[in-house]
Each structure stands twice: as structure tokens, then as C-alpha cells.
């Protein structure tokens, strides 16, 4: 079966396979031998929650972008639910860092969240009533249903994060890659995000959260891995090192 969105194929997940399996992955942004990720290996069981912890520049976003097929793989392999990249594209959702979004783009909150459905629709098909309902439910899940008609330029930092997560939820993917969803948000947004992570896991989905700051209780993670300079490190980085790039709350 093919989805209209970029003609991506829909393969049935291999029930025995991990949600994500990466072997010897090397990613470089330039032709020089400077690698953003080097000989990276990981196996993430389906239904688990993983914290990907590291300071700025460690390679967290690079890893997520590679898993979404947004960056060329220089070496190694990535398998998602037992398939090579692209074979089950709609099952993976990447939530970018808030700073990567153009928040001045003239679009309403609801329309942004409906974009989570495009993987099923294709770019040129109009969203159906069902898609709008799913988007509204996702906003409700994040406690921001009252913001549906607001322009995204009028959102606070915490609201932006909730809306982005709603868009990811609307896609109803099985592997969620959340890039720093807890960075610089208010306490109540942190709690909502933690609750939603818990729910996602209870639904049997797999979630990987990139973060500067690791709190086992906050996300109820099954495991944490630490990244530094594009490599996995067994040593837990010092709190000061991680916190130097972590802004706890802008709460605007």
C-alpha cells in the first residue's frame, strides 16, 4: 500500500523487531571528516521510553533527523520496526525543537495541528471532517483546545510546545521522536507533557525524548543514553555541564 504523501510505502511492522535499531551510524553535514554522529549504535524496544540526554551540539537533533530520512546516512544502517528507512514513514513522527519553527507564519493553531494528518492525505487533498476531529482531540489532550482559532504567532512558549505535541499526536505514529519538549516551558506544560508521555507509552507506542536534563520520574523512562560530541558515552555527564545549556523556564 502507498500513502499519497510523497508516495511513501506502508509496510507492516515486524512484531519481533525493535522500534528502532541503529548500527554503526555515521552522519556528517560536510564532505570533510567532521562527523556529527560517529559509529552510533542503539536498539530501542517497541513500547519503551528512552531519554536521549546530552548538551548542545551532542548530536541529538542530528540523530532524529537521520531517523526521519532528512539527512543522508554516511555509514551504518537504520531500521524502523524491522524495515529500512522510508518503508513505514507514517509510523514515525519527529517533533522539532520549538526554535526551528517559523512562529510568524500566518496559520491558525488548528491548521498547524491538521498538518499532522498530511502523511495520510497527501499535500493536495483537503483534510476530511475526521482529520479535523482528530486534530481537535489532540489539542484537547494537550489542554489547549481553546486556542484552535488563534494564529500561531500569538502563542506563548508553553503554548507553542503544547501545540507542536498536539500536531505529533494527530499523526498517530508508533515511534515519536520529541526534540527537547521540556526545554524552557512552564511547570504546568511540563506536567502535561509528562502525562502525555505516560499515556503514549500505555498505548504501546515508543517514545524517544531528547533532553539536556534527565529526570527519570518526569517521563518515566525505561532507559537513558548519554551523547557527547556525536558519540554515546557511558559516563553520566555532570549536571553542571548539561545545565549550562538548559533554560528551565521562560513561562511567557
The interface partner of residue 58, options being ligand ADP, Mg ion, none and the CB cut-off 5 to 8 Å by kind, is ligand ADP
Nearer to Mg ion, 64 or 118 (CB): 64
Q: CB of 30: closest distance to Mg ion in angstroms?
A: 18
Cell numbers at 23, concatenated: 548500527
> How far is Cα 139 from Cα 133, in angstroms, rounded to an integer?
10
- Could you tell me which residues come within 8 angstroms of residue 87 by beta carbon, excluding any fewer than 6 positions away? 9, 11, 80
Mapped to the 3 state alphabet, what secondary structure does 185-222 carry? CCHHHHHHHHHHHHHHHHCCCEEEEEECCCCHHHHCCC
Q: Is the dihedral of CA 214, 216, 221, 223 positive or negative?
A: positive
| Ramachandran region, residue 129 (left: φ > 0; alpha: ψ -120 to 50; beta: rest) | alpha
CA distances from residue 77 to 67, 80, 139, 193 in whole angstroms, order as listed: 10, 10, 35, 31
Q: CB of 145: closest distance to ligand ADP in angstroms?
A: 31
183 binds Mg ion (CB under 5 A): no
For the chain, the 3-state helix, strand and coil shares in percent, each to the nearest 5, are 35, 25, 40
- Cβ atoms of 76 and 244 within 8 Å: the answer is no
Indicate the pairing of strand 83-84 with strand 75-80: antiparallel
Nearer to ligand ADP, 38 or 79 (CB): 38
Binding mask 105-144 for Mg ion (x = CB under 5 A): ----------------------------------------
Nearer to ligand ADP, 57 or 86 (CB): 57
The interface partner of residue 36, options being Mg ion, ligand ADP, none and the CB cut-off 5 to 8 Å by kind, is ligand ADP
Q: CB of 137: closest distance to ligand ADP in angstroms?
A: 30
* Site of interaction with ligand ADP (CB under 6 A): 29, 36, 54, 56-62
Which 58-77 residues touch Mg ion, going by CB under 5 A? 60-61
Cell numbers at 37, concatenated: 554522529
Nearer to Mg ion, 114 or 227 (CB): 227
Nearer to ligand ADP, 52 or 114 (CB): 52
Q: CB of 38: closest distance to ligand ADP in angstroms?
A: 11
The interface partner of residue 62, options being Mg ion, ligand ADP, none and the CB cut-off 5 to 8 Å by kind, is ligand ADP
Q: CB of 60: closest distance to Mg ion in angstroms?
A: 5
Q: Residues interacting with Mg ion, by CB under 5 A?
A: 60-61
Amino acid at each position: 500500500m502507498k500513502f499519497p504523501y510523497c508516495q511513501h510505502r506502508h509496510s507492516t511492522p515486524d512484531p519481533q523487531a525493535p522500534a528502532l535499531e541503529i548500527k554503526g551510524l555515521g552522519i556528517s553535514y560536510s564532505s570533510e571528516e567532521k562527523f556529527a554522529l560517529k559509529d552510533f549504535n542503539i536498539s530501542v524496544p517497541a513500547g519503551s521510553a528512552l531519554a536521549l540526554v546530552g548538551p548542545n551540539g551532542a548530536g541529538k537533533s542530528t540523530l532524529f533527523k537521520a531517523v526521519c530520512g532528512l539527512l543522508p546516512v554516511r555509514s551504518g544502517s537504520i531500521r524502523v520496526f524491522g524495515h529500512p528507512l522510508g518503508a513505514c514513514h507514517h509510523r514515525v513522527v519527529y517533533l522539532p525543537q520549538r526554535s526551528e519553527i517559523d512562529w510568524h507564519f500566518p496559520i491558525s493553531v488548528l491548521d498547524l495541528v491538521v498538518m499532522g494528518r498530511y502523511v495520510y492525505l497527501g499535500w493536495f487533498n483537503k483534510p476530511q471532517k475526521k482529520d479535523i476531529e482528530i486534530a481537535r482531540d489532540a489539542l484537547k489532550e494537550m489542554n489547549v483546545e481553546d486556542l484552535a482559532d488563534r494564529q500561531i504567532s500569538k502563542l506563548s512558549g508553553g503554548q507553542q510546545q503544547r501545540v507542536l505535541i498536539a500536531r505529533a499526536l494527530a499523526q498517530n505514529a508508533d515511534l515519536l521522536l520529541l526534540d527537547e519538549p521540556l526545554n524552557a516551558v512552564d511547570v504546568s506544560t511540563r506536567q502535561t507533557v509528562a502525562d502525555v508521555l505516560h499515556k503514549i507509552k500505555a498505548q504501546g507506542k515508543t517514545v524517544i525524548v531528547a533532553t539536556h536534563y534527565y529526570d527519570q520520574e518526569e517521563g518515566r523512562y525505561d532507559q537513558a543514553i548519554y551523547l557527547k560530541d556525536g558519540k554515546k558515552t557511558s559516563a553520566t555527564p555532570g549536571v553542571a555541564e548539561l545545565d549550562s545549556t538548559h533554560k528551565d523556564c521562560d513561562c511567557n
